Amino acid sequence: MSDIEHEHILKNINAALKNRKLYPAGHPAITTAANRAVQFSMAAFKTKSNFIIALVNDALVFEADIIADSETMYPDIIKYMAEKAVNAIIIEKGVSENEMTAFFDILAGPAVTGQELQKTLHAKGIVHMTLKSVQMGKKNMLAIYNGARETVKNVMQEIRMGKLPKSESVSAAVDDITESVLSDQNAVIGLTMIKNYDNYLYNHCVNVSIMSLSLGKALNLDKDELHAVGVAALLHDIGKTGVSEDIIRKPGGLSSEEWEKLKEHPQLGSNIIHRMEKMVDLVARLVFEHHIRYDHSGYPQTTSTLHPFSQILTICDAYDALTTLRVYQKPHSPVEAVKIMNNLSGKHFNPDTLKRFINMIGVYPVGTIVRLSSGELAIVMKVNPDATFSPFVKIVCDSEGANITDPVDTDLAAEDARGRTIISAVNPATVSINLADFFEKEASQKEVITQH
Ligand SMILES: [Fe+2]
């Protein structure tokens, strides 16, 4: 979204709020501004499903951008947000002019705060706008990723030492990842390209959590369901603490005895979660079921019906495993991984959930290295919902193979891409591009508004 769009949205919201004090509800001065705010939001929703307007230290922040001079430019938004103790307004795709107008009535209306304010929103039928009135902070997206990895590491170390981990740190890590996904899903999916060989297990858990939260969001899970899915994904392999490292890291095939031991990890993991405080049953169930396939092959053996959300974990787990270098496997490119998984649709994977997953990550998923018709190499940065074969990319190598030091975003569907098209996906092992470094750098420049 461009700065101009930010400006138009904020300008019209501010005008509507200002006019709400001067004129009665339903006056054209209010409805026209509301209508414009909705129209300009539509442009933003071409590339994302929601955006956040936050109040941080008396200044407005639109997504991660601090708005300069917001106190003089948009005094009414700031005034009403401060008055109602609202830290953030989240506007979702599908918002209507009626919702927007009703929202202005509430914000400019009598003083109610916190839960009451949110209840009033629901009572008025406003479903595409959410208010947050919690202590908020800003965190760097890379710091959130690394923090989540440390959390998993600590949890697993505690279990190995015979302690029962607390669930608070896990819950906070999932909240932060959720905020990252809501703030910039493409950037955070880019981070799943971090496949540190030595830290494999911990990175893998974070990656599966990021993708499961993204898929859960695409499947319209409610807040509590989404949280449970995120926690289960982050902890799905904690049962591996009960399996010796030698078996987990063993190159080549496992003996049948070792294999039987490894297959215990879903049960072991769900036992641990059952004993942890403040864990809902759904988390333990999803962990128990994460290796049971759609056709009930896999393990542990069961004849009972699977929870519909366990396929979220199964699919994201498989995708991250396929795209990772393992002792027994070369990494597949994201495009190859999707192909392999598609062939297992209806067998290992629920066809509907898999379809939603593939729609979410796109034909050329974020992190795919592609060769362009110009001979250049590019990295996919963002799925283009309107043109799945022409994503947003960064061109990182020119046609001679020389690295481009400061690559810029190119929308392959736009005119300034000068007709460049994708010729093929390139296997990352065949080129000297370090995807993990690349996405770490990208994420280190992104701020996320968090609740902690
Ligand atoms: Fe597992």
The span from the CA of 442 to the CA of 224, in Å, is: 30
CA-only gyration radius of the chain, Å = 23
Measured in Å, residue 296 CA sits from the centre of ligand 1 at 16
Measured in Å, residue 235 CA sits from the centre of ligand 1 at 10
Measured in Å, residue 321 CA sits from the centre of ligand 1 at 10
Tokens 């990656």 — which residue?
207
The residue with greater pLDDT, 49 or 317, is 317
pLDDT at 114 over 70: no
Domains and CATH numbers, the chain: 3-134 (no CATH), 138-361 (1.10.3210.10), 369-439 (no CATH)
Measured in Å, residue 287 CA sits from the centre of ligand 1 at 8
* Tokens read off for 147: 């923090």
Single pTM value for the model = 0.72
pLDDT at 327: 59
pLDDT at 134: 57
pLDDT at 363: 84
Per residue in 230-241, pLDDT tens?
999 999 999 999
Question: Which secondary structure element, helix H or strand E, spans residue 160, and what is its range?
Answer: helix 141-160
Measured in Å, residue 261 CA sits from the centre of ligand 1 at 12
Q: Which pLDDT band, with edges at 50, 70 and 90, does 151 fall under?
A: very high
Measured in Å, residue 203 CA sits from the centre of ligand 1 at 13
Region at 401 (left for phi over 0; alpha for psi -120 to 50; beta for the rest): left
Measured in Å, residue 430 CA sits from the centre of ligand 1 at 29
Measured in Å, residue 290 CA sits from the centre of ligand 1 at 7
Ordered strands of the 369-372 beta sheet: 409-411, 392-397, 377-382, 369-372, 422-426
* Tokens read off for 143: 């710091």
Q: Which pLDDT band, with edges at 50, 70 and 90, does 6 fall under?
A: confident
pLDDT at 442: 85
Measured in Å, residue 266 CA sits from the centre of ligand 1 at 6
The span from the CA of 354 to the CA of 307, in Å, is: 15
pLDDT at 196 over 80: no
Measured in Å, residue 265 CA sits from the centre of ligand 1 at 7
Per residue in 217-276, pLDDT tens?
999 999 899 999 999 999 999 999 998 888 887 767 788 899 999 999 999 999 999 999
The span from the CA of 208 to the CA of 318, in Å, is: 9
pLDDT at 386: 80
Measured in Å, residue 311 CA sits from the centre of ligand 1 at 13
Arithmetic mean of pLDDT, 104-126: 80
φ/ψ of 48, rounded to 5, equals -150, 160
Region at 373 (left for phi over 0; alpha for psi -120 to 50; beta for the rest): alpha
Buried b vs exposed e over 414-440: b needs ≥16 C-beta within 10 Å? eeebeebebeebbebeeeebebbebbb
Measured in Å, residue 255 CA sits from the centre of ligand 1 at 18
Measured in Å, residue 412 CA sits from the centre of ligand 1 at 37
Q: Beta-carbon neighbour count of residue 296 at 10 Å?
A: 12
Measured in Å, residue 6 CA sits from the centre of ligand 1 at 43
According to DSSP, residue 239 is labeled G
448 and 140 Cβ atoms separated by less than 8 Å: yes
